[in-house]
Chain A
């Protein structure tokens, strides 16, 4: 298995939070989110935060595949792009009601990922990385070449309909509103993942990740649970893509590109893919570090690369893993 999934570390995590605790944290975080526009007045900061949250959702998606299936994907942006494109194209052409487009943009990538997951789950390691890379790029090529779909290479701007789900949709392009929507989506996503990990299917998926053969020999079907994990991960990526497309009113093939998948993977690994919240924390840190690095922007990829190499070699459990270790060390001192 991957050492990105350090086995001992996985089991050594503090006792899994129970449902009540998870929901309590989630409620608290949601309240904080709703208060955000009142606490922060700068539109720019709110807008940046929205972007950071979208990144966090995508990173969470990639990290969850590592956590629960032990699979490293270089093509998760495919579902990000699919979510954005499904919404953008359907809305721009007014093929269906905007609410239906919204739901299809989430359902379609989820279904595709479930079906792909039935096959992909059986393929491990570098082969899986290559496979997802190829699938992601295949989607990219379609978006890039198919000009009639959404103007190919140029990308496509689209107008949101007046109202969606009864709300004025222009508010979805207001950072003060979108930041709350995106934050709530992220919080609910993380809480949902925590509940899933504790569920039966989640635990069977973990058993399959650990030892697929033995999972069969203790009596479990091993195709469906990992495929469900693929579907959930794709749902989160699609949600991120949908939010971004809605917020910007713009879709472009870059949403599918493997460099986006790779970036999300880096954020997940640096944050700590063995933890549900690790990738999101990694993404947010990266986002604000990048903003902060401003005048060194030229060197940014090298900074990311160096951080990735250092983290992979020196702290394979990422930032969250390091934080846990430091906390445990402090606690064990008198």
Chain B
């Protein structure tokens, strides 16, 4: 059953002091799938991404990458196995040039091809510019590019379009869909812009108060009464 699953979280729990951010979440994303992860603020979306990527430990809970237990691995070890992530708040190397930081990222992986990554994300013209000096939209794409170096097998994206204009975020979504298909990357995408989620995701998981509220295809989720009440509201 798990043969074609790219990434799995099993019974993932996480507490911060007395607050239970995740209360035993199971998630399994098929290879090649783009899965949306939605839910209201505080539902535990970012925490789930953090546990899967190794930024925080699940307590308890397991994380499997291609069926292999990686729960005890450090973030850098997970990255070298092909599990990459981006961040909600732009997380780049401000003093380094675009090209230099992508090159440094390429040393940790095989099959780097940073020129290709720069070209796909429209960063080639900015290659020699320090990251601190490029526009916010370019920085968001750089953040994504850092995660894409070496064509990871699984990409965890925590609101990659945060702070972008509507046009920018839709442009980013198009690039993402296209690259995920061509490079065969499995994506778990946290995103508040439902337009983006509905347009590029194959399936959706809805988190609510640290638990899975619903899971299914896009149409299914849009029609789900509980999801509409808890999160989507009447407008969807």
Contact = CB atoms under 8 A, between A and B. Distances in A.
Physical contact A–B (CB less than 8 Å): yes
B194 to A, nearest CB: 27
Query: Counting chain A CB atoms within 10 Å of each CB, which of B80, B84, B96 scores highest?
Result: B96
Contacts of A206: 95-96
Contact of B76 (A12, A209, A222): A222
A215 B92 CA distance: 9
Interface stretch (A3-11, A27-35, A46-54, A230-238): A3-11
A219 B79 contact: yes
Contact of A8 (B85, B95, B103, B147): B95
B130 A12 contact: yes
A203 B84 CA distance: 21
Contacts of B113: none
Given A8-B95, A218-B79, A218-B149, 4 more contacts: A211-B94, A215-B104, A219-B80, A221-B76
Given A8-B130, A203-B100, A207-B101, A220 B93 contact: no
Interface residues of A, number: 24
B130 A219 contact: no
Contacts of B130: 7-8, 10-12
Interface string A154-181: 0000000000000000000000000000
Interface string B86-123: 01000111111100110111011100000000000000
A8 B129 CA distance: 10
A210 interface: yes
Contacts of B131: 11
Q: When A and B form their complex, which 5 residue pairs have the shortest distance between CB atoms, in order from nearest?
A: A219-B108, A11-B130, A219-B79, A7-B95, A218-B105
10 contacts: A10-B130, A203-B103, A207-B96, A209-B95, A210-B93, A211-B94, A214-B87, A216-B74, A216-B76, A217-B55
Contact of B132 (A8, A209, A219): A8
A213 interface: yes
Contacts, number: 88
B46 interface: no
Contact of A214 (B93, B100, B150): B93
Interface string B35-48: 00000000000000
Interface of A: 5, 7-8, 10-12, 200, 203-204, 206-207, 209-211, 213-222
Nearest to B130: A11
B139 interface: no
A133 to B, nearest CB: 26
Given A11-B130, A219-B80, A203 B104 contact: yes
Interface string B136-168: 000000000011011000000000000000000
B75 interface: yes
Contacts of B74: 216
A7 B132 contact: yes
